[in-house]
Structure 1
Amino acid sequence: MFDIGFWELMLVAVVALIVVGPERFPGMIKKVAYWIGKFRRIAATVKSEISEEVDKAEQLQNLLQEQKEILRRNASIDLSQPAVKPKSLEQKAKATDEAESPSDSSSQAVTKNKPS
């Protein structure tokens, strides 16, 4: 990440040892290690959350593309011809009569069975 080599790290450690002193140096190293670990955990969490959000965005993008493709296919249907041919008035009247006749016979059956 920062591309710090072994010799650069040793130079920083020697300067820190001179500045802080040998008594406080181990405690300072523990604190630095603690903060570096905490920073790495936070960075890993942020990285995983960003990755999850990118995956969700890609899924939404794919769904949107599929919906656009479906709409494009449906829009290409020939609208000059009707989907269902209209029935003539005679056919509509027959269908209406046939639909009404079973209900009439059932009402007659109910009236026949009714005690007077």
Structure 2
Amino acid sequence: MPFDTGLFEWLIIFVIALLVLGPERLPKAAQRVGRWFGKAKSTMTQFNHQINRELEIDELRKKVEAHEQLIKQQATGTELEKLRDEAEKTLRQAKNRAKD
């Protein structure tokens, strides 16, 4: 149960609410409280999902960076590194020409 309450505590809350609100207004009050708890639970669920998605995205970015580093290490001194350097040089030249 929420807030670590037991059956006895809920029974006391129910009896007090019955005495204060009366039997006519108690069902409507219970509905309102139920809606509030439902909305709060929904909001917390959405918040938790958002945080989990962001954590997963962060983990994926780290994995991609690690794989990029591994590929760069493996490509050192190979034809692939030469091709990459040429491509970067061509991109720099194109950017410089675009600026002018």
TM score, norm. by length of structure 1: 0.57
For residues 67 and 14 of structure 2, what CA distance do their matches in structure 1 show? 58
Q: Deviations over 1:62-100 (max 9, x none)?
A: 10111122233344x49xxxx8xxxxxxxxxxxxxxxxx
> What aligned pairs does 1:38-77 form with structure 2 within 5 A after superposition?
38-75=39-76, 77=77
Tell me the equivalent position of 2:6.
Answer: 5
The alignment status of 1:33 with 2:38, answered yes or no, reads no
Q: How many residues align?
A: 78
4+ runs deviating over 6 angstroms:
none
Over the residues paired in the alignment, what is the CA RMSD in angstroms?
Answer: 2.1
Whose helix fraction is larger, Structure 1's or Structure 2's?
A: 2
For residues 19 and 26 of structure 2, what CA distance do their matches in structure 1 show? 9
For residues 5 and 69 of structure 1, what CA distance do their matches in structure 2 show? 55
Structure 1: which 5+ runs fail to align? 84-116
